[in-house]
Amino acid sequence: MSVRVYTHAACLDHDTGAGHAEHSGRLRAVIYALQASALPLDWQEAPGASRDHLQRVHRATLIDRILASPVDNDIHWLDPDTALSPGSPEAALRAAGAVVAAVDWVLAGHDRRAFCAVRPPGHHAEPAVAMGFCLFNNIAIAAAHALANGIDRVAIADFDVHHGNGTQAIFEHEPRVLFVDSHQSPLYPGSGEAGETGVGNIANAPWPPLANAQAVRALWEEVLIPRIDAFKPQLLLVSAGFDAHREDPLAQGLLEARDFGWLGERLVEVAERHAQGRIVSTLEGGYALPALALSAVAHVTALCGQR
């Protein structure tokens, strides 16, 4: 099966400064690895998101702050981790626009799977706060767009090593969205305990530092995949962070590329059971470039239905 890949050169222009973990080389590594693969990929230029798309999940104060490009060439810091540069507004709009276009594509009955190779990432961004390298919450914007276009049940699966606090905050009172998340704990941002359940639509599965791949796989097989099955989503969205890899410098995960491939296969299976196979996945974390590239290829290989 062909997978449509959305990306845009503007996503490389989001400047986070020298030595920052979330830099343009991450996206280059993912794109180069996918281009070098033999996978059946349909490359598309990501459009920009509209203000209407953004304001479904974000407050006007945050939107205005991010879209007001700095008048100088300096980097402005929204918090100690999160940068805003002259290229950031366009990058953020393209990253959000990619997921919107991908949702439109799969819901129109074309290829049933899409991957968004974009940055900045999004799952830490809350309604009024940009944080944790994230400006707009791309996956939340995708979910809200699907709800606005006739989908009644959207599931979001987040396997980034850091908890998707922003996605949870946006949807914890929205029963039409199921959010399932595996992540290391304790770790930034300090949220995501198993007792955080929203209105019954949130399922967190934290794992301790140095948990092995078997333990993380078991959380998905025994806890999170069954929750998705019970919800019967019409669309599955994926926050695809690869920073639980054993080589990643920002956490203490022990996963390898093959584990991300395995998880991708399980998510494809659940989408086939309930969502007509429809999956939109977008890049979140991953900061060891060779590991990131290999893991992204393993994930997209699973989306293609290959092993």
Q: So which residues are the catalytic ones?
A: 124
Say if CB 277 and CB 232 are below 8 A apart.
no
Residue 79 burial (10 A CB sphere; 0-12, 13-18, 19+): exposed
Handedness of CA 16, 17, 20, 25 (dihedral sign): positive
Question: CB count, 10 Å around CB of 19?
Answer: 6
Question: CB count, 10 Å around CB of 150?
Answer: 8
Say if CB 124 and CB 242 are below 8 A apart.
no
| Measured distance CA(37)–CA(182) in Å, rounded | 28
Question: CB count, 10 Å around CB of 52?
Answer: 9
Say if CB 74 and CB 1 are below 8 A apart.
no
**Residue-by-residue DSSP string for 254-297:** -B-HHHHHHHHHHHHHHHHHHSTT-EEEEE----SHHHHHHHHH
What does residue 115 show for φ and ψ, rounded to 5 degrees? -125, 135
| Measured distance CA(119)–CA(12) in Å, rounded | 7
Residue 270 corresponds to which amino acid? Answer: V
Strands (E), the chain: 3-7, 41-45, 76-77, 83-84, 113-116, 154-158, 177-184, 202-207, 235-240, 279-283
Residues in the chain: 307
